[in-house]
Amino acid sequence: MTAGTVQQAGSAKRVSGAYGTYMMVLLTSAFALNLLDRQILNVLAEPIKRDLQLADWQLGALTGLSFALLHSVAALPIARLADRSDRVKIIGVAILAWSAFTAACGVAGNFVQLLLLRVGVGVGEAGCQPPSQSLIVDHYPPEKRSGALGKFGLGKPVGAAIGLAAGGLLAEAVGWRWTLVIAGAPGLLIGLLVLFTLKDPRQGAAAPLRPPQAPLGSVLRDLARRRSFLLFMLGMALLSFMSYGANAFAASFYLRVHGQDIARIGAAIGVGPLAVVGLGMGLIGATSGAIGSWFGGRLGDRWGARDVRAYALIPAIGATLGACSYVAMFTVPVGALSLALYMAPAFLNNVWNGPALLAIQNLAGEQARATAVALVLFVGSALGMGFGPLTIGAMSDAFATTMGEGEGLRLAIVLVAVVDLVAGLAFWLASRRIKDDLAAVASS
């Protein structure tokens, strides 16, 4: 078979040669931009707070709730459309939309304007992950899908890290407004490349016949009967609650609590404090997060081939250890050591990408994969992105009246870390049910 061809292999259409590599690189790049544009506001939080005179709860709303408001609502209808139509067009248009809204955030004049523009970013980004993962799974045989999704998951830490590193450097050079304009520009190119160079194998004359799409109510009832699916969804939402909440305020934490340490490091390398935080978290997050995603995907392929419970046990272990690593990161007394310790939660909060996402799609069945991913994103966005940063921000404001801005924020983050332990419990309970639930899917 020649490079770039697609062949039918059971239910998987395997991609070979240069096209397969190109597709993975392009979709992973799009996912990286998804996270970059989503997370870049984190490192810009302090300049925006001072410029627009905001409270911490408003920062939490901008970095979480505003994005999640319509992101969670839009994800499900977009995914339903992706399960029956051209996924490539959906992905391409989504990239163009969220990139334009990101750039427009740079001209916001007040809290309300920035809030509404971030809502637009969230709606656009709802069209990326579910159809991309569905497209990837269609191209790989079962024994390689966890690894493929793990590679796609590399976009998450890499994109978030580039957003932190580039955001910190650009903010000090050109200000937060031009930083957001620049951040939106690459997506316009990536979106056009997706639209004009990728193909959905379900489309065209050679596409295999597909059964009619089941009604949404029927799909939701089937998923609700699979207890392990609900537990996976809960665990992933709780992980999002902690990770998005902590990351939203990490830059503010370092500037408030370890400002002198960070300033000394910056003076030694010739950059400002914001650039130190962005570069430190960016480089560590990209390296450790990418390794965690790759390792989790490979481990899911190997361990999961012998025991499907691995798809739940891998994230269970990661979540439990992740809670401990967050507490260590935010309680050590030295800023440089705290930054170095970021490698642990960055690794542990990405090992679940391949195994858990594959389990979600397997538990959904072939005809509802994008819908299942969107449902998980719906809950994760509403609970995690929507209320993680907002909760930490509100707790920080409350504690700051007696403890000060820095220590109040530290306590808020440490207290919220307990949700990762609950996430670990949810994944462990899912491991006890996943065999039976997968057997029910196979027999249906």
- Mean pLDDT to the nearest integer, 237-257: 89
More confident residue, 257 or 125: 257
Q: List beta partners, residue 13.
A: 8
CA distance 247 to 115: 19
Is residue 39 pLDDT above 90, yes or no?
no
Question: Percent of the chain at pLDDT above 70?
Answer: 90
Q: Is residue 200 part of a domain?
A: no
CB 126 within 8 A of CB 75: yes
- Mean pLDDT to the nearest integer, 32-43: 83
Distances, alpha carbon 442 to alpha carbons 144, 208, 439, in Å: 19, 20, 5
Is residue 209 pLDDT above 90, yes or no?
no
CA distance 63 to 248: 6
CA distance 327 to 345: 10
CA distance 214 to 256: 52
- Alpha-helical segments (H) within 127-154: 129-138, 145-152
The CA dihedral of 8, 360, 156, 118, to the nearest 10 degrees, is: 110
Is residue 417 pLDDT above 90, yes or no?
yes
pTM for this structure? 0.70
What integer pLDDT is reported at residue 66 of this predicted model? 64
What integer pLDDT is reported at residue 103 of this predicted model? 94
- CA end-to-end distance (rounded Å), the chain: 34
| pLDDT-based confidence at residue 78 (cuts at 50, 70, 90) | confident
What integer pLDDT is reported at residue 187 of this predicted model? 92
> In this predicted structure, which of 71-80, 83-92, 162-171, 356-365 has the lowest mean pLDDT?
71-80
Decide: helix, strand or coil at residue 238.
helix
Q: Is residue 123 part of a domain?
A: yes
Is residue 24 pLDDT above 80, yes or no?
yes
Q: Is residue 9 part of a domain?
A: no
| pLDDT-based confidence at residue 9 (cuts at 50, 70, 90) | very low
- Mean of the per-residue pLDDT values for the chain? 84
- Mean pLDDT to the nearest integer, 113-122: 87
CA distance 122 to 62: 11
What integer pLDDT is reported at residue 380 of this predicted model? 78
CATH number at residue 342: 1.20.1250.20
DSSP for 175-220 reads: HHHHHHHHHHHHHHHHHHHHHHH---TTSSTTPPP-PPPPPHHHHH
- Mean pLDDT to the nearest integer, 209-227: 73
Q: Is residue 370 part of a domain?
A: yes
What integer pLDDT is reported at residue 367 of this predicted model? 67
Give the closest residue to 261 by CA, choosing from 406, 56, 396, 413. Answer: 406
Is the Cα torsion angle 202, 205, 206, 212 positive or negative in sign? positive
- Mean pLDDT to the nearest integer, 96-114: 92
Q: Is residue 214 part of a domain?
A: no
Which pairs with CB-CB distance under 8 Å and at least 24 residues apart come from 12-18? 12/137, 12/138, 12/139, 12/140, 12/141, 12/142, 13/138, 13/139, 13/201, 14/139, 14/140, 14/141, 15/139, 15/140
| pLDDT-based confidence at residue 213 (cuts at 50, 70, 90) | low
The per-residue pLDDT for range 316-328, each reduced to its tens digit, is 999 999 999 999 9
The per-residue pLDDT for range 343-395, each reduced to its tens digit, is 999 899 889 888 998 898 888 876 677 678 778 877 877 777 778 888 898 99
CA distance 195 to 217: 31
At position 328, the amino acid (one-letter code) is: A
Number of folded domains in the chain? 1
Is residue 4 pLDDT above 50, yes or no?
no
| pLDDT-based confidence at residue 181 (cuts at 50, 70, 90) | very high
| pLDDT-based confidence at residue 64 (cuts at 50, 70, 90) | low
> In this predicted structure, which of 29-38, 72-81, 97-106 has the lowest mean pLDDT?
72-81
CB 170 within 8 A of CB 182: yes
What integer pLDDT is reported at residue 8 of this predicted model? 39
DSSP state for residue 404 in the 8-state scheme: -
At position 353, the amino acid (one-letter code) is: N
| pLDDT-based confidence at residue 274 (cuts at 50, 70, 90) | confident
What integer pLDDT is reported at residue 3 of this predicted model? 37
CA distance 93 to 192: 8
CA distance 100 to 33: 12
350 φ/ψ angles, rounded to the nearest 5 degrees: -125, -10
Q: Is residue 207 part of a domain?
A: no
CA distance 154 to 157: 6
Is residue 105 pLDDT above 90, yes or no?
yes
Q: Is residue 39 part of a domain?
A: yes
Determine the structural domain holding residue 167 and report its residue range: 18-194+219-443
Q: Is residue 124 part of a domain?
A: yes
CA distance 442 to 405: 54
More confident residue, 222 or 438: 438
